[in-house]
Amino acid sequence: MNAKAASLDRAILGNHYGISPQSGELAEWLIDGNNAGFGLNFQAQGLPRFLSEYYYDVSHWPVLISSAMRAQFADMVRTMPALICRGICRYYADDPKRFAERYRLPDAALQLLSGVVGDGSQVLVRYDLTMVDGKPKILEANVGSNIGGWQTGYLWPQFIEMIRSTPGRQHWDVRHTSTVDAFFRHIDTTIREHLGARATGNVLIMIEGYYLEHGFDREVQAMYRRILAESGRSGKLLFDGGADAISIDARGRVTFRGEIVDCVLKTTTPRANIVPELSRAHLRRLVYFPDNALFSLLGDKTNFAVLHAVREAGALTAHEAEMVDACIPWSAFVSEAVVEWRGRRANTIDLALALKDDLVLKRGMSAQGKDVFIGRFHTQDEWRTAVQTAGTDGAWLIQEYCRPDRLYAPTSDGEIAEHDAIWGVFGFGQQYGGAWGRLMRSNTGHGVVNCARGAKEFVVLEV
């Protein structure tokens, strides 16, 4: 062990080695001060121009996951959407009206859910998880085409070059799963399966003007056409900032400025009435719309309370129950009158107040770390107010606090410090689509690790 590394916490260094032996070795080497050449050039030739003005901080230290860890992520991606769907169907089976009220959908939507979601082969997800004693615990599922974290993946060649420039690592087999490439391969495959012989290969992306101004449309257009060319297919990407030019005719065909499109990706907020229309067209197999209402409900955080409720009721198979126990932190609706946890049966509000430091309070549908209260980072009065307010409706859950396996990383001033890490694992259909993560210096803020609250991103490579 190097001199500086020897003075640090062996357990945290062990977390790096648990990710992969190479990740641990590289971290030790960097901690010992050998990081002068580890800097990122956001102006480098070949990078998309939007990265030249990237708005979040990115760690100069990559994380290298092992093939075993990648396989673990891939298995989670394959199985989780269908498991969440089955849990919802079983939980609300006898009360479709309650289902409709919870997800703000028609009563009949529950009957459609299982058939539409199926095995999850069309769902786009990013699982936000933390590693606890080397095992993944999923904190939430972000569903739909507007999921971030893919942007910094374009930096991977710089990281591999930096690693191979260090002594003794020239021959490391370091790889990267391109999230953007995996995303568009999924789109291409799903269009053909969903629309069949009618497919044109045309995809409409509702995208922020920022990306169009920086030429990202040309970047992904070239990638998409390369993917299509591999199998001799045709098609193209179309871009619009607000979906004002989308039309849906009487037969449900979706067109954009006169051209038929097979897929609509919603990375910005479109006009309000277009989402239900596109959802209906998706159900009729006239368009692939991954942001349809039935897919989107899989991203509600209260689904984790649903999974634990059906698990406790014995409504899951042994394998399903094992998955819930292994991957999903204990969760419960705040609005439930009574819950049981750790052998203690109590009024839900009373239990939440008594176990503040062991729990997290979340709203089911929220983003960017909003409406998340980590008990141990709040005073008793703050916690009581939040819990009692949340108890007035069914939109909130309490969840077991999972203390992340900490990692060492440099701060903005170059100090080596402990950081809490939240991983984002992408799943496109049943295929692993790469990973990415965020770091927040430990014991700072309110414990929420989110870029909107000051976290820095880290790039994930594979060995």
Specify the pTM: 0.93
Number of domains in the chain: 2
Task: Assess whether 153 and 38 both reside in one domain.
Answer: yes
Q: What is the CATH number of the domain that holds 390?
A: 3.30.1490
Domain boundary among 383, 400, 417: 400
Say if 198 falls within a structural domain. no
Range of the domain at 340: 330-400
Task: Assess whether 36 and 159 both reside in one domain.
Answer: yes
Counting residues of the chain whose pLDDT is more than 90, the rounded percentage is 65
**Pair of tokens at residue 40:** 């990122």
Say if 183 falls within a structural domain. no
Task: Assess whether 415 and 364 both reside in one domain.
Answer: no
Average pLDDT value for residue range 76-80? 93
Task: Assess whether 390 and 345 both reside in one domain.
Answer: yes
Q: Are 16 and 408 in contact (CB under 8 A)?
A: yes
Task: Assess whether 393 and 358 both reside in one domain.
Answer: yes
Instruction: Write out pLDDT tens, residues 264-295.
Output: 998 666 555 688 889 989 999 999 999 999 99
Label residues 114-133 b or e (16+ Cβ within 10 Å = b).
eebbeebbbbbbbbbbbbee
Say if 51 falls within a structural domain. yes
Domain boundary among 368, 400, 432: 400
Say if 431 falls within a structural domain. yes
- 3-state SS, residue 459: strand
Task: Assess whether 32 and 45 both reside in one domain.
Answer: yes
Residue 82: φ, ψ to 5°: -65, -35
Task: Assess whether 60 and 157 both reside in one domain.
Answer: yes
Task: Assess whether 348 and 392 both reside in one domain.
Answer: yes
Task: Assess whether 395 and 414 both reside in one domain.
Answer: no
Instruction: Write out pLDDT tens, residues 146-163.
Output: 898 999 999 999 999 999
Say if 169 falls within a structural domain. yes
Average pLDDT value for residue range 353-363? 94
Instruction: Write out pLDDT tens, residues 82-110.
Output: 999 999 999 999 999 999 999 999 888 99
Least confident of 146-150, 356-360, 405-409: 146-150
Task: Assess whether 419 and 383 both reside in one domain.
Answer: no
Say if 253 falls within a structural domain. no
Among 268, 331, 3, smallest CA distance to 141 is for 331
Q: Are 434 and 460 in contact (CB under 8 A)?
A: yes
Domain boundary among 400, 429, 445: 400
Instruction: Write out pLDDT tens, residues 299-338.
Output: 999 999 999 999 999 999 999 999 999 999 999 999 888 8
**pLDDT the model gives residue 113:** 92
Task: Assess whether 436 and 395 both reside in one domain.
Answer: no
How far is the C-alpha of 447 from the C-alpha of 95, rounded, in Å?
A: 37
Q: Are 348 and 399 in contact (CB under 8 A)?
A: no
Task: Assess whether 349 and 445 both reside in one domain.
Answer: no
Q: Which amino acid is residue 247, in one-letter code?
A: S
Instruction: Write out pLDDT tens, residues 15-65.
Output: 999 999 999 999 999 998 877 778 888 888 888 888 888 888 899 999 999
Say if 40 falls within a structural domain. yes
Instruction: Write out pLDDT tens, residues 371-386.
Output: 899 999 899 999 999 9
Among 130, 120, 24, smallest CA distance to 78 is for 120
Residue 409: φ, ψ to 5°: -160, 155
User: CA of 449: how far to CAs of 17, 67, 322, 375, in Å?
Assistant: 22, 26, 27, 14
Say if 107 falls within a structural domain. no
